[in-house]
Structure 1
């Protein structure tokens, strides 16, 4: 067997064993975070990396208690993926986990975008960025669509925000983690706008698009959590709609699309039930039928007909 392949297999097996190992009672809150992470559909590469970081922090703590040298690592991250692939949800879990592990003092998430960072005049951007960094201290500063900071060219104030963030990442690294998120190709281009950026984000995670089967599982989970059920025909209709959207949309919105479809079907079900003049059973109140399921195009046509 190839030595590299064998090593990878052994590492993968060790991670799986670690994930299944019981957590000490004093780490019950950490166990809860892992349970929440494991309950997410897909994202296996993300889950493995989070466990890898957790294991590293645990061993570093044991090494320190044993009087051994401990290394210093940067945990700034780059999340690359299309909308609805779980980037923000994972960022929140990472913040909570790092707080429980003692890496962050507060463990909160401050989510921002270009408009929150970039000012309107010279010096304004640095001021806004510093204020947001102060707000995020002890937690994670999550910058969505980070590549938009570099879209205005050399004279754009977005460049000032990037330069300010690069300095902050070095000065405040002990109690602040910065996560940049956005579409894969755009994020790669963004890293090239500042020579200091790539090396400051040692952890790069790709959030791939969900498969059709995974999206159906996500839909069923959303429905069950709301105490609704999909009829078999509604499930088939949902699968058809997702497949059509996946093929036709230039940027597929994954779980975000599924959530919107489910929420719209629930509203459609409510309208359908209100038109009935008989007493509604518990099953009536829970069941979503195929006619309740509508694609984005069908919703648009329906809205236009109502307005007209």
Structure 2
């Protein structure tokens, strides 16, 4: 006899997969287990075919991929970076299709160099890359592990190799993001940083299909780093430049940050924040910290707004939402 609960169990499994609570393999196992049980009961009407399961999971994965790509596209600026990520995504997908038709396919090396100042979106993009390449099956989990020199370099001979191996093992299936990577080459031949590089290069070969390593840092320092380690250039063929944001882009970033916190810039304060950021650019030659500077400005203005409205006799919803010019006036001529 057919039981509505049979379809309910199937829907629950699919829903759990959509929410990321269970893996693809676990979903298949549960669904096919349910299917076998139904067959044993001769409930042909409720039989779940392999094709149906595969189609549903494929649709879920495609939707998840589009969601992550939409998040990437929503980032301010970084147009060349976005374009290159999409190119490599398409390349990876086509190589898989070629393999399915028994055609020659190219080996895929996804290790990258990110060059740019702090606050230009490098870490954010690394996290998105992990999620994107998880959805197409290149990475197992897509998690980001962010480390720096002190996490890799030990205090005595052999210690560095142990630390580096341990971190790379931990990063397998996702992205290992090494910030200020050029610091590994600052000490010369006798520095333990070289041992970290050598260990990393070897493990990249041993686990070439299991992780993406991203080396990040200032443009000039990263160029110098690659010049002193010629072997790294071939292993990190994908190099992405993260330019400083323009003032217009920074104002858009500020508006997004306010929106995420459920605040709104009124017309006057929007013009004023543009003026403050322009002043920083003119005085310093570049906007120190880029998006980080904007974040500091946003958070400070929210605290200033709190000081202003807490003194008011009447506080309504509009007053709680809007950021006024006076909440930003502290930033004119003096910047954190």
Normalised-by-shorter TM-score class: 0.7 to 0.9
SS where residue 70 of structure 2 aligns? helix
Aligned pair count?
A: 276
Counterpart selection for 2:249 from 214, 221, 225: 214
Q: CA distance change for structure 1 residues 150 and 295 in 2, over 3 Å: closer, same or farther?
A: farther
Residue aligning to 2:303: 267
Which whole-Å CA distance do the structure 2 matches of 1:259 and 1:290 have between them? 17
2:75 aligns with one of 15, 40, 53: 40
Mapped partners of 1:157, 1:247: distance in 2: 41
Decide whether the 8 Å contact of 2:263 with 2:321 is kept in 1: yes
Unaligned runs of 5+ in 2: 1-57
CA shift, 1:86, in A, is 0.7
Give, in whole Å, the separation in 1 of the partners of 2:326 and 2:187: 46
Partner of 1:257: 293
TM-score, reference length from structure 2: 0.79
Q: 1:248/1:108 Cα in 2 relative to 1: closer, same or farther (>3 Å)?
A: same
Q: Which of 92, 98, 109 is the matching residue for 2:144?
A: 109
Superposed, 1:154-169 pairs within 5 Å as 154-169=189-204
C-alpha distance in 2, partners of 1:122/1:249?
43
Structure number with greater CO (CA < 8 Å, separation at least 6) is 1
- Judging changes above 3 Å, is the alpha-carbon distance between structure 1 residues 175 and 243 closer, same or farther for their aligned structure 2 residues? same
Greater Rg over alpha carbons, structure: 2
Of 278, 281, 290 in structure 2, the residue corresponding to residue 243 of structure 1 is 278
Q: Which residue of 2 aligns with 1:25?
A: 59
Query: Cα distance, 1:259 vs. partner?
Result: 1.1
Q: Does 2:233 align with 1:198? A: yes
Partner residue, 2:35: none
List per-residue Cα deviations over 1:249-282 (Å, max 9, x = no partner).
3662111111111011101111111222x12011
Partner of 2:213: 178
- Deviation, 1:242, is 1.2
**C-alpha displacement at 1:197, in angstroms?**
0.9
| 1:34-86 CA distance string (max 9 Å, x none) | 11011111111011111111111221121112121211021100000111111
Structure 1, 286-295 or 176-185: larger mean CA deviation: 286-295
SS of match in other structure, 1:238: helix
SS in 1 for 2:229: coil
| Cα distance in 1 between the residues matched to 2:162 and 2:284 | 39
Residue 144 in structure 1 maps to residue 179 in structure 2: yes
Q: Which runs of 5+ in 1 are unaligned?
A: 1-23, 301-308
TM-score (norm 1): 0.85
Once the two structures are superposed, residues 117-140 of structure 1 have per-residue CA deviations (whole angstroms, 9 ceiling, x without a partner) of 111111111111111001101111
Matches of 2:186 and 2:173 in 1, distance apart? Answer: 30
Post-superposition shift, 1:240? 1.8
- Could you list the per-position Cα deviations for residues 13-50 of structure 1 after superposition, in whole angstroms to 9, with x for gaps in the alignment? xxxxxxxxxxx834000000111011111111011111
268, 278, 281: which one pairs with 2:316? 281
Distance 1:296 1:161, change over 3 A: farther
**Per the alignment, in what secondary structure is the counterpart of residue 192 of structure 1?**
helix
